[in-house]
Amino acid sequence: MSIRNGVQLITYADRLGDGNIESLNGLLNGKLSGLFTGVHILPFYYPYDGEDAGFDPIDHTIVDERLGDWNHIKSIGESKNIMADLIVNHMSAQSAQFKDVLAHGRESEFWPLFLTKQDVFTSDDDAETAAQIAQVFRPRPTPFFSDYEVAGKEMVPFWTTFTSNQIDIDVESDLGKAYLSSILTSFTQSNVDLIRLDAAGYAIKRAGSNCFMLEETFEFIESLSTRARGMGMQCLVEIHSHYQTQIDIAARCDSVYDFALPPLVLHTLFTKDASALAHWLSISPRNCFTVLDTHDGIGIVDVGASGDKPGLLNNDEINNLVEQIHINSQGESRKATGAAANNVDLYQVNCTYYDALGQNDLEYLVARAIQFFSPGIPQVYYGGLLAAANDMSLLARTNVGRDINRPYLSSSDVDEAFEKPVVQGLMTLIKLRNDSSAFDGEFRVSYTHNLLELVWINGEASAQLAVDFADFDAVIRMVSAEETTAFSLSSLL
């Protein structure tokens, strides 16, 4: 199935509706019918409820039986594009392969599958090794080596980029290649169209480098994407990095995330100045997927500087952006971000997008309209679809910062959310984005005299979003061969 240029849903199978894949399919073709052309189902492998909410699979080729099986995935793919996560960088310490390594050490057939410190840092000079390790880019404040006793006789430091339960694999080894191939086979047999390459930027390690998005990493991503295309799938690369890196990656893969968009839209709405946003949209990759919210936090590194390369926002603008999120959320985001909660990334603020905007319905619809009119295929997170507020009770139970934006929403919660005018307005925008052929055409952006205009033209069809920041009015104008319509976003509330 070709990838359709329409709005996609991002959701967990267990946190929306009745909590399994079959019920998700019923929801997509029932209450959510007509809204989404595709769905990114967050990790549904065994176990989906591990230490990192499914991103630490014990067996990546098995659907957790509590959620369903591959036939349920295949069924969704009969009517929707499916995106599934290929967790490239690591697998669970609880996996059969790693347990075999722990039991048999270097004699295990799976020993070459996992990366150790000595696999990368081979120097006998401790000072040289320490200097090389200091160069490695860290996504989290946790150690990137974890000591495990193997064969009951030696302690071995294994690479653990994210948590001690997520053991980095050697994707360049024969076993690593075979492991990834087995996952691709499961996908292609089950109507998966899109593969989200999770944490791919960390997959290749070299001593003397920062071990992040190296030239060898680009080559690895290109090679993996080529294999996937040969099996009828496309790859979406998930990288949080400097915006120029996103542009460079986009030129060498099927598609990338536009992770600069979420903080830039917030900055624009906070300051009523769209100059940084307009500049980015004039140079951003066109083969991208756009998001405002995801299962992770709101990324900041994507608009910041990197070394001597300036960012899309300067340090003061970024600091003001983060502080305004904390103010708008009445301090809730501060409790879920940084050292305040466990298992956090260094470059993200944990908060729902709705709360980041202070639950301002008009600003929220303007943010979504900007997303839908920006280049790329839009994705809407299930919490964002329902204008969910920060889940402080879940955060209190788990003390995992990102859980503030990972609520469990029952069928009755969905029904209740559907009554909100802001949710009804968002659904109107989703249908508009799906139904107009203008978005298959040419895009242009302009920003003069406080007026931001995002315009799409495709033959006789056109779509225009005009946001006047002087009096904060937003108007959409749609033209087709049959009719012309125009309306203010405030009329949706």
Examine the residue annotation and report whether 238 is marked as an active-site residue of this protein.
yes
Question: Quick check: bond before 421 cis, omega within 30?
Answer: no
Show Cβ contacts of residue 151 under 8 Å, excluding neighbours closer than 6 positions.
Answer: 102, 103, 104, 105, 106, 107
Examine the residue annotation and report whether 109 is marked as an active-site residue of this protein.
no
Would you put residue 338 in left (φ > 0), alpha (ψ -120 to 50) or beta? Answer: left
Q: Write out the binding residues.
A: 52, 90, 196-198, 238, 295-296, 345-348, 402
Q: Which entry of 170, 238, 254, 453 is annotated as an active-site residue? A: 238
Three-state SS letters, the chain: CCCCCCCEEEECCCCECCCCHHHHHHHHCCCCCCCCCEEEECCCEECCCCCCCCCCCCEEEEECCCCCCHHHHHHHCCCCEEEEEEECCEEECCCHHHHHHHHHHHHCCCHHHECEHHHHCCCCCHHHHHHHHHCCCCCCCCCCEEEEEECCCEEEEEECCCCCCEEEECCCCHHHHHHHHHHHHHHHCCCCCEEEEECHHHCCCCCCCCCCCCHHHHHHHHHHHHHHHHCCCEEEECCCCCHHHHHHHHCCCCEEEECCHHHHHHHHHHHCCCHHHHHHHHHCCCCEEECCCCCCCEECHHHCCECCECCCCCHHHHHHHHHHHHHHCCCHHHHHCHHHCECCCCCEECCCHHHHCCCCHHHHHHHHHHHHHCCCEEEEEHHHHCCCCCCHHHHHHHCEHHHHHCCCECHHHHHHHCCCHHHHHHHHHHHHHHHCHHHHCEEEEEEECCEEEEEEEECCEEEEEEEECCCCEEEEEEECCCCEEEEEHHHHC
Q: Write out the binding residues for substrate.
A: 52, 90, 196-198, 238, 295-296, 345-348, 402
Among 329, 333, 356, 428, residue whose Cα is nearest residue 385: 428
Q: Which entry of 170, 198, 293, 453 is annotated as an active-site residue? A: 198
Judge contact between 129 and 123, C-beta under 8 A: yes
Question: Which amino acid appears at position 430 of this protein?
Answer: I
Among 118, 119, 211, 116, residue whose Cα is nearest residue 168: 116
Show Cβ contacts of residue 482 under 8 Å, excluding neighbours closer than 6 positions.
Answer: none
Burial grade of 263 (CB within 10 A; 0-12, 13-18, 19 or more): buried
Active site residues: 198, 238
